[in-house]
A = this chain, B = another copy of it.
């Protein structure tokens, strides 16, 4: 078949997405930009966590943020207003997730050259975003205390694909029936390599340890450790 290019069109949506995700990941690895994908249910404190995190890290790292929402631009605006970094809002037109091709399209309009850290705030949803690799190096999922320690049992795929779980709203632990050891055990059953950081985005407790983890991940990325 000299000179004939074969294009496979019958692969699954997921296989195609995985390939696009690998391309994004390789490109960002090559330029030394760590890409983190933040997921959670609505109201678990994603935006508040990101604002607190960026404000802690912005003097050490050059950071960019992309925010996916159905139709509002509230979150990207809030991040830009409260941190001063460059933030981009992606409207995904009512979809319940963002996939690698959507991320790739966003990256055409968002210059990531020179960034140490690229953050994606995914749609607030524990089902669909778990199914699509976005091209991020690591998935970070936020589980907040008021949601309950049984959420990993009910949305298992999300916790299977999470590298890091931030247990947020730790300052409200006294008001809810939330057993942190139980939550961790459920998650470790799905994903024995999961790493945990109990935090309060509101008070700032626990965030420094997570910042150190990010800086260490970036160092590993740049030393070719992935």
Which of A's residues lie within 8 Å of B, judged by CB? 41-44, 69-72, 74-75, 94-96, 123-128, 131, 144, 146-148, 150-151, 153-157, 169, 172, 175-176
A146 contacts across to B, CB distance below 8 A:
43, 144, 146, 169, 172
- Copies of this chain present in the complex amount to 2
Do B71 and A156 have beta carbons less than 8 Å apart? yes
A150 to B72, CA, bound (A): 11
A124 contacts across to B, CB distance below 8 A:
41, 126, 154-155
A38 to B120, CA, bound (A): 30
A95 contacts across to B, CB distance below 8 A:
127
Do B153 and A42 have beta carbons less than 8 Å apart? no
A176 contacts across to B, CB distance below 8 A:
172
Do A42 and B72 have beta carbons less than 8 Å apart? no
Task: Give me 30 A-to-B residue pairs in the complex whose CB atoms sit less than 8 angstroms apart, sorted by A's number.
Answer: A41-B41, A41-B43, A41-B124, A42-B126, A42-B147, A42-B151, A43-B146, A43-B147, A43-B148, A71-B156, A72-B153, A72-B156, A74-B153, A74-B154, A94-B127, A94-B131, A94-B157, A96-B96, A96-B127, A123-B127, A125-B125, A125-B126, A125-B127, A127-B128, A128-B128, A144-B146, A146-B169, A146-B172, A172-B172, A172-B176
